[in-house]
Each structure stands twice: as structure tokens, then as C-alpha cells.
Amino acid sequence: MTILHRRAFLKTAAIAGTTAFALPALVRHASAQTRTLTVASLFGDDKPETKIWFKIRDLVEAKLPEQFKFNIVKNGALGGEKEVAEGVRLGSIQASQSTVSWLSGWVPELQLLDLPFLFRDAGHVQKVVEGNVGSDLRQKLLAQNFVVGGYINYGARHLLTKEPITRPEQLKGKRIRVIQSPLHTKLWSAFGTTPIGIPITETYNALSTGVADAMDLTESAYAGFKLYEVVPYLTETGHIWASGVVYYSTAFWDGLNDEQKAVFLEASEEGARYFSQLIVEDEAGSVAIASQHGGHVLQPEERDKWEAGAHGVWNEFAPIVGGLEKIKTIQATV
């Protein structure tokens, strides 16, 4: 080998060596760009509360490949809605979805969406949250470290009991499990019950051991928690439309660039629409499963008495949610 050829060989080898050493660094750098977000769901793979995150994950990964890894923790392993909300607010959990009831402790104005017998149907709710009311509530949630990706609808809440109850006076003296929310407590107190705040993950045991006699919940979640085993009667009161949000922690959100934020928002909004479709299908399946296991669906009697008892809540919470005139305007929205 000539001196000239040897110098060329050594130069090529040096470049190759440098490249070889650089490759692991490049791999490490690429890996460092993948951010993991922990997402909490109360249910398993087959329920809308988890399927929505599979949908959002797929949409995000399609547009931002290898930038995010979704760690979807299911079956309430990270706690109930309240514990998860606290985790999201503190940044230890990056995302989840929740009924607005659980978030009203931080944003009392959200109780507007929980007012009993205010909304006619899911379409009525959707029109309200897509307007100024929804925008205003988004900003109030943001001030409490919750970034709203989209509004979702869990369906109507119905009464679940151990014995048949179709008239409001039959509730008197019962112990009823409620969401730990002032509005829900006031609502059921109006019917002569003793409200008991219990996390959803502890509700089955509370009902089976006699700590509570009744509760209210959506039809979709009824079978998800196998509650037909302990409260086999579902009375379709439809007293509250359970609005909710897909939400992220501000600690996670503030670390995203503008493109990533846009992708997550678009994916969340599409996921929210997908969730609403799944809920309708899941309600029918849930009622069928409950019926197969001894559950019974009842229709309320004397509906005017149910509504009269509940409307006292409107007057009490009007100063908190923006006034009685605002409530009546929403009621008249078409």
C-alpha cells in the first residue's frame, strides 16, 4: 500500500468510526423525543371510556409518528374520577376524561350542566357546550390547570335501587350514594333521602353491605360496574344529562409545540364525537346485560312531582352558575 493510499484508507476508517460512534447517540436522541403520557380510564378495553383513548392515540400517532407513547391505565387502577382529576391537576397523570360533576369542586360554574331536568336530550346539551357557555367553562377549567380537549356526553343519569321505586315519595328515608358534589347532595336531599358521598370504585361494596340503598348513574356504566347485582332496579328518570370533558394537565400541555397542540385538539374533538356514538350503542348493550342478570327497567310515575322536587335546585344554584335568567335561556335553547 502506498503512503497516499494508506492516508486515504485511514481517513475513510476514521469517518466510518465516527459515524459508528454517532449512531447510538442518534438513536438515543430520537428516543428522547418520544414523550410518554399516562392516561387514566375507569373501565376496561371494551368500554367507551377506554376506546376513546385508543382512538385519540391512533389519530395522534398517525400525524405525529414516534413523538408520543400513550400509557393507558385501565379499570380504575389510578383511582376514581376525583383522584384522577387531582393527579391530572398536579401533573402526575397527563390525561383522562371526567364528568363535570367531579370537576365542579374546582369550577363551581360547571354545575350549570348538571342542573336536573334542564336539558331535553343529548343534542340540546351539545348545542349549549358548543356555544359561549362551553367556551366560558373551558377558560375557567384552564385556570384550574385542566386543558379541555373536547366535551363528551355520558348519557342521562337514572335512579338505581334495591327495590322498585317509581314515585319520588318512595325514596324518603333511603340512603343514596351520590357524587361528592353539593348539587347532587341537594338534589337527593329534596326527595327526603340521606345522601352519602362515595367514590364510584367503592360503590358496589357500599351497596352490597347496606351502607347505601340506592344511587344514580348512566345506563352505560350500570353494567360496567355490575351494579345490577346489588341495585337491580333502574328507573329511567333521566334527571341529569351527564356531561363530561376530555382533558389534559397543563404541565403536559405547556410542553407541546403549536403543531402538537393542534393535533391533540383535533384528535380529542374527533374522539369526543366517537365517544358519544359509542355511548348510545353501549347503553343498549348495558341494559340488555343487566336484564340477562336479573335487572329490571322501570318508568317513573308522576313525572311532574319528580321535576317539581328537582327544580328547587335551580333557585339555590342560580347565583353560582350565572343566574336564573341564564338557566331559563338554556332551557329554551333549540
Quick check: is 263 in a domain? yes
Residue 182 cell numbers, joined: 353539593
Per-residue pLDDT of the chain (334 residues; tens, 9 = 90+): 444 444 443 344 444 444 444 444 433 334 448 999 999 999 999 899 999 999 999 999 999 999 999 999 999 999 988 899 999 999 999 999 999 988 999 999 999 999 999 999 999 999 999 999 999 999 999 999 999 999 999 999 999 999 999 999 999 999 999 988 889 999 999 999 999 999 888 999 999 999 999 999 999 899 989 999 999 999 999 999 999 999 999 999 999 999 999 999 999 999 999 998 999 888 999 999 999 999 999 999 999 999 988 888 999 999 999 999 999 999 998 7
Cβ contact 40:94 at 8 Å: no
Whole-angstrom distance, CA of residue 295 vs CA of residue 160: 10
124 located within any domain: yes
Is 3 among the domain residues? no
CATH number at residue 263: 3.40.190.170
Number of domains in the chain: 1
Owning domain of residue 187: 33-331
- What pLDDT is stored for residue 176 in this prediction? 98
What pLDDT is stored for residue 29 in this prediction? 39
Q: Which amino acid is at 187?
A: L
Is 140 within a domain? yes
Looking at residue 309, its pLDDT comes to 85
Please say whether the beta carbons of 113 and 151 come within 8 A: no
Question: pTM for this structure?
Answer: 0.82
Classify residue 27: in a domain, yes or no.
no
What is the spatial distance between Cα 200 and Cα 222, in angstroms, rounded to a whole number?
11
Residue 23 resides in a domain: no
pLDDT at 200: 87
Domain contains 16: no
Residues 119-127: contacts with CB within 8 Å, 24+ apart?
119/241, 119/330, 121/241, 122/153, 122/155, 122/241, 122/276, 124/241, 124/333, 125/153, 125/241, 125/243, 126/151, 126/153, 126/276, 127/333
Residue 12 placed within a domain: no
CA distances from 161 to 167, 235, 241, 281, 292 (A): 12, 8, 19, 24, 17
Gap between the Cα atoms of 311 and 183, Å rounded: 12
